[in-house]
Each structure stands twice: as C-alpha cells, then as structure tokens.
Amino acid sequence: MARFDSNDDSVVVVIGSGAGGGTLANELCRKGFKVVMLEAGQRQSSQTFRNDEWFAFKQLAWLDKRTTSGTWRVAKDFPNLPAWTCKTVGGTTVHWAGASLRFQEHEFKARTTYSNVSGANLLDWPISLRDLAPYYARAEDKMGVTRTNDIPGLPGNNNFKVMYNGATRVGYKTVHTGRMAINSRPRDRRASCWQLGFCFQGCKSGAKWSTLYTEIPKAEATGKLDLRPESHALQIQHGADGKATGVLYADRNGKHVVQKARIVCIACNAIESARLLLNSSSSTFPQGLANSSGQVGRNYMRHTTGSVYAIFDKPVHMYRGTVMAGIITDEAELNTKRGFAGGFEMETISLGLPFAAAFLDPGAWGRDYSSVLEQYPNMAGMWIVGEDMPQATNAVTLHPKEKDQWGLPIPNVHYDDHPNDIAMRNYGYKQGAAVYNAVGAIKTVAVPPYPSTHNLGTCRMSERPGDGVCNQWGQTHDVKNLFISDGSQFTTSGGENPTLTIVTLAIRQADRIAAESTRRNL
C-alpha cells in the first residue's frame, strides 16, 4: 500500500470510500493517479462482520449526532437518526442490499416529463440515458450484476415465492429475482451467495459487491492508493485563485492534518458531502464552498419508501436468504394515470426479529403490536422505492448551536413529504397489500419509511450554474478541481435504487478527470 506525504500536492484526495469514492479511487489508480482516500470509519472485513442486527448496526452505521425537522415520520420516530448509512471502509456498500437497476430514459428528464409539479424543484439532468449506457455496462460488469453479462439470476427464497405468486395473480407481468450485484456463481474471485439473510449487516460470504473487498484492494494492488481509515474530513481548503488546495482532517488520534491535493473529490453520502461544503465557507465563499447557486444542501431526496408486511396462516421464514432478490417492476414504468408523477419498484425485504420489533411500527407497544410480532415466522415483506420530488426547502443545513466531536456544526436534515410522495406511497401500500391478499394474507401491515439509506440531490448536477452545484461530470461549477462523486449529484432521484448509477457516474467521472488532466485543464 502506498504512503504519500501530506505536502505532496500531486495527489487526488477522495473523501469517502463507498460506492462513489471507492469506485472512483480504483478507476483513478488504474489510470496512474496517486490517490489519498480519507475514510471516517474503521476497516472491517467479512471475518469481522456478524450476523447480528444490533451488533452490526453499532459496528457499521454512521451514528454521529444529527437532528431532523419536517413532516416526515422519521423526524418523530428517529429524531437523531435521519439516515441509515455507514461509517466504515466501503461506506454504505457494506450495508446495501445489492439491487442494481438502470435509470429509465424519461427519469433523466423529470422536469420535461412531469412538467410543472407544484412545489417541486424539478430539473432535467444535463445527461441522458444514452450518455450513461456505456458506463452502466461497465458498472454492471464490474459489480457482477445478475441478469446482465450472461450472469444468471439468483434463486428465489421463500419471501420471493410469496411475492411472485401474489404479483402474478394480480396481473403484474415483470416479476423476478432482480438485477443484483450478488454473485449467483463465483465471479471476480468472490464466492456465490450462501443465502445468509444478513445482507444489511455486511456480507460474510463476500458474494455481495462492496468496495471494501473489490475496488479498494484492487486500487491498493496498483501501489497508487493511500487509504487512511478513521480520518474524518473537516474542511476543504482553497487558494487565492479559488482552486481547492487540500483537505483538513482529523486523524485516528484526533490530530488535525492538512493533506495537499491537486484535485479533491467528495463522496461522503449526501448529508455529509453537503455539510462538508457548508463547513468549508471562507471569505471568498461565504455561503460555503461551491455554493454560489445556494443549492448546496437543498433538494435533499430520500426516495418515496415504505414497506408492506403480510401475515399468513402458514410459515414463510422471510429472513432466510438474500434480502432483496425479488422485484416487481410494473409500477416503475411511466404511467400518469395513477394520480402521481414518477414510478416505483416493489422489492422483497426482510428484517430479523430484533429489527422487525424496532421498525414495523416505531414507538408502538401493547397487545396489538406484540401479537403482530408473534406471527413473525409467517410474515412476508416488500419494500416500495420510488421517485420523490426534489424540494428547495428539503435541505441539509448546519445546526445553529450543536457541535460534533470536532467542534463543527452538526447537520440538520429537513424533509417534508410532497403531496406526490404521499400519493405514491399510499398507492404503493394498496398495491403491496393486494399482492399479498391475492395469496391469502390474514393481515397486512403498512410500515412507514425507515431512516434513509438512499440520500440524494444535495449537490445536484445542472446544465446552468445557477440551478445546481456541479456539471454533468460532477465537477463543481464554482471550483474546477473539486468534484462531487456520490449520490449528492443526482438531479432527481428516479425510482431505482441508486448505487448502480453512483458507480456508473464515478467511472465516467474518472475518465473525465483523466482526459481533462491530459489536456492540462485541471
């Protein structure tokens, strides 16, 4: 593994090691760039992961204090936990479920397609599906996505059997075990899936793609990556010319270090990426770095989500096997007749008993609730994930008073559900219940959104600098050697799980950084 001097200003500093940062670092190293990767969390491995929901949550989740506001139910149930993301090497690719879906063409043109949705700050992406298609193909190959590249689908588990039978009985046409970045056959020196049922807790078989044991070791093998775990970025610094010059971070001993850089790439997940820019304000950039548009932190999206769990009079054991290898895509298509803009996917999901108790109805107690939990073995579950509307007032901002362990303002995450989000969620609940009722559910339970794992849009891409934070390459409009490399760049959310698109954008961004460097534009 490489070690670069903190005064070496020829390195690229990548902040964050998840889907965006981990992929970008590997792509850049393979092109010969020297990369310093700062990761706030510790390095775990398949050996240190545990099939234990609460243990894994404490081991992997980002638990630094945050506050919430707005009408979303998360603010009431989890006031200090707006998001369920990770602080560990590999970022949230350690926790993700593996669903890898391409955006649809119309989703890149949300403003044009849905026209003027009242209260929504919609914008078309500055790129189209055609621009991304070749990069999507590279991402699918890199990640080993099932049902692409001649990789067979995963075998369906019990939870999928229930979904499949219910879905086909209500007339849904496209129902299968998904496009999953989980090996159905050994591939890329990783095993095939053992159906452990603990995808969210870190994959102990290594079948699920995570930058922790794919991109990052591959980058280390080039001799070009200096990975620094337990290194928490505090501020991006800039010079008199307005270009980024380096990153101030706290190392594992709490010592403040400045790592100089020729290029800085931010991939801290949408809450921390926005917070880092806001915490990097200066006399030159009083609103925060790269924020002349005032859009940093705004348009925060988290997908319209919800779950439907159903109880049957016979066993299901939903927790056995790959958590999200099951999908109904019929509701994802463009269809304006349902009373809302955008579409959604219906995907299998399961929780172990400990997290079922925590999440099925947060805060609930009493016999009605405990009797639902007693039916645990007879339960099936699905997750609804759909396009939510960007709103200028849904925003990550700096807390006016509270500070973190480094003395910096903590983030507040404000989210009001848009009427479109509510209409979609209620329709999704109804359709999910219909699927389960078609196969004899005794009872269905509509479950509110969990803390957000899909955090998007806080540094969005835009054609015009006034509408967003970065251009189609993720390069910030204001600071040309500063890039946004995670889901923060999403102009709109689409209805698909975002990781594949984050990886795709990172591959494309690496190509751009290389090309612009060759042209001496960076």
Partner 1 sequence: MKIKRREFLHKSAIVVAGVSAAATGVTAAGLAAEWTARLKTLTAHEGETLLKMARQIFPHDRLDDSYYMKVVEDLDIEASRKPVTGKMLRAGVANLDLSAKGKFAARPAAEQVSALEKIQRTPFFEKVRSAEMVALYNNPDVWKVFGYQGASYPFGGYLHHGFNDLNWLPDPPAAASPKSG
Cα separation, 200 vs 202, whole angstroms: 6
Tell me the window of 19-27, 106-114, 361-369, 427-435 that interacts with partner 1 (CB under 8 A).
361-369
Name which of 204 and 454 has its Cβ closer to partner 1.
Answer: 204
Tell whether the torsion through CA atoms of 308, 173, 199 and 344 is positive or negative. negative
Strand locations in 267-303 (E): none
Name which of 169 and 252 has its Cβ closer to partner 1.
Answer: 169
Name which of 312 and 490 has its Cβ closer to partner 1.
Answer: 312
Name which of 65 and 185 has its Cβ closer to partner 1.
Answer: 185
Give the containing element (helix H, strand E) for 277: helix 269-278
User: What SS3 state is found at 489?
Assistant: helix
Chain position carrying tokens 């954008």:
505
Burial group, residue 448, by CB count within 10 angstroms (0-12, 13-18, 19+): middle
Task: Pick one of 112, 370, 393, 521: the residue that binds partner 1 (CB under 8 A).
Answer: 370
* Residue 27 in the binding site for partner 1 (CB under 8 A): no
Name which of 241 and 313 has its Cβ closer to partner 1.
Answer: 313
Task: Pick one of 81, 175, 276, 332: the residue that binds partner 1 (CB under 8 A).
Answer: 175
| CA max distance for the chain | 70
Strand locations in 239-386 (E): 244-250, 256-260, 263-266, 304-311, 327-328, 344-348, 379-386
Contact 488, 456 (CB under 8 A): yes
Minimum distance of partner 1 from residue 208's CB (angstroms): 12
SS3 per-residue string spanning 40-74: CCECCCCCCCCCCHHHHHHHHECCCCCEEECCCCH
* Residue 437 in the binding site for partner 1 (CB under 8 A): no
Task: Pick one of 11, 15, 110, 162: the residue that binds partner 1 (CB under 8 A).
Answer: 162
For residue 153, the 8-state DSSP code is: P
* Residue 48 in the binding site for partner 1 (CB under 8 A): no
Name which of 185 and 403 has its Cβ closer to partner 1.
Answer: 185
Contact 505, 488 (CB under 8 A): no
* Residue 255 in the binding site for partner 1 (CB under 8 A): no
* Residue 153 in the binding site for partner 1 (CB under 8 A): yes
- Return all residues near 443 (Cβ < 8 A) that are at least 6 apart: 310, 311, 372, 375
* Residue 386 in the binding site for partner 1 (CB under 8 A): no
Name which of 354 and 466 has its Cβ closer to partner 1.
Answer: 354
Site string for partner 1, 309-338 (x = CB under 8 A): -----xxxx-xxx-----------------
Task: Pick one of 118, 130, 171, 366: the residue that binds partner 1 (CB under 8 A).
Answer: 366
Name which of 143 and 175 has its Cβ closer to partner 1.
Answer: 175
* Residue 499 in the binding site for partner 1 (CB under 8 A): no
Tell me the window of 94-102, 108-116, 154-162, 272-280 that interacts with partner 1 (CB under 8 A).
154-162
* Residue 164 in the binding site for partner 1 (CB under 8 A): yes
Token pair in block for residue 277: 């820019």
Minimum distance of partner 1 from residue 436's CB (angstroms): 12
Strands 304-311 and 344-348: unpaired
Q: Which residues of 30-57 are buried (b: 16+ CB within 10 A; e: fewer)?
A: bbebbbbbbbbbeebebeebeeebeebb
- Find the binding residues for partner 1 in span 183-202 (CB under 8 A): 184-185, 192-198
Tell me the window of 8-16, 349-357, 479-487, 508-516 that interacts with partner 1 (CB under 8 A).
349-357
Cα separation, 123 vs 473, whole angstroms: 16
Cα separation, 470 vs 96, whole angstroms: 26
Name which of 189 and 314 has its Cβ closer to partner 1.
Answer: 314
Cα separation, 447 vs 429, whole angstroms: 9
Task: List the one residue out of 231, 211, 218 whose CA is nearest residue 91.
Answer: 211
Tell me the window of 17-25, 137-145, 158-166, 230-238 that interacts with partner 1 (CB under 8 A).
158-166
Tell me the window of 59-67, 94-102, 347-355, 408-416 that interacts with partner 1 (CB under 8 A).
347-355
Summarize as ranges the residues that interact with partner 1 (CB under 8 A): 50-54, 152-158, 160-162, 164-165, 175-177, 184-185, 192-198, 204-205, 314-317, 319-321, 352-354, 356-358, 363, 365-367, 369-370, 373-374, 376-377, 439
